[in-house]
Amino acid sequence: MPFPRIKLKQYFIIQLINILSYLPLPILYLLSDALFFTLYRIMRFQRRLLTNNLKLAFPAQNLGERNRLAAACYHNALDFLFETLKTWRLDESEFKRRVILKNPELIDQLGTQHKTLLALTSHYGNWEWLQLACAAQLKLPVAALYSPLNRTDIDRFLKAMRSRFGSTLIEAKTALPALLDFSRQGGIIAVNADQGPRPEEDKYWSRFLGLDTAFYTGPDKLARLFKTPVIFVHMRRVRRGYYEVEFELLCEPPYARDQDNIMPAYIKAAERQILSAPQHWFWLYKRWKYRRSLYDG
């Protein structure tokens, strides 16, 4: 597959990704193991952030339990990185083999009843493979919301990767006009909804993993605007390089104006998934950087 045009300043980064993508996954996992030892054991890169997040979410864990979980989270994050590097070299048949959709008939059934579906995911397992596997295997077209990177050349490269099997990539900040166009043809709007909003953006507050947590209000607004069913996409890691996906219907329209059921259903499903195997969620960012008291006052 041809790579998109890029600026010279990012040329070597893209070429490194290109070279690594030719390596077999077993070799990439060996690189993941080596990088884990270097970054986690020796350099301790981002280790404090990770352990602080785990301490907030699991205060009852003792030090040994927390350290074991932290190591597993870190190692899985590196596996995700190297799996994503391999994405350019995996064709549709390989995605069908590695990412099994257990109940695509639910999507087919809902697609006959509703023109547009809203699929909510989280940063769990390998969300890059999840989006590509759904685009490759489901009958309905997929439009995925994303936040572009500041480095436009790298962003262009990632956008080309994510749209390989026909997905439409829509920038979240200016999504509404594009989503209105997409909704006329119908399909699945995919939103990775577990990250926190920016300080100036509207926030939906809820208890999540035992903590007051801010979420985007976008999923609730989209479901009401397009009168669409809301689906949670569960992803389970079977072993390195292999995943299972299951779709769960969370709620269906009509939605009463005073009814608050969309975000609570998503948050409950995301929390249940994380608690089932917390090492597969992405913990390496400041998820709880906002204090609710600063916004409620």
Q: Which two tokens stand for residue 24?
A: 């077999």
pLDDT at residue 150, as a whole number: 77
pLDDT at residue 9, as a whole number: 66
- The helix-helix angle for 262-276 and 218-226 (nearest 10°) equals 130
Residues of the chain with pLDDT under 50: 1-2, 6
pLDDT at residue 199, as a whole number: 87
Backbone angles phi, psi at 293, to 5 degrees: -60, -30
pLDDT at residue 247, as a whole number: 99
pLDDT at residue 13, as a whole number: 82
Quick one: which H or E segment has residue 236? strand 230-239
Q: How far apart are CA 241 and CA 251, in angstroms?
A: 31
CA-based torsion, 233, 238, 242, 244: positive or negative: negative
pLDDT at residue 295, as a whole number: 72
pLDDT at residue 12, as a whole number: 83
Q: Could you give the count of Cα atoms lying within 13 Å of 207 in the half-sphere of its Cβ? A: 1
pLDDT at residue 10, as a whole number: 74
pLDDT at residue 154, as a whole number: 79
Q: Which two tokens stand for residue 113?
A: 């009843």
Q: Which two tokens stand for residue 258?
A: 């005073």
Q: How far apart are CA 239 and CA 243, in angstroms?
A: 7
Q: How far apart are CA 178 and CA 189, in angstroms?
A: 11
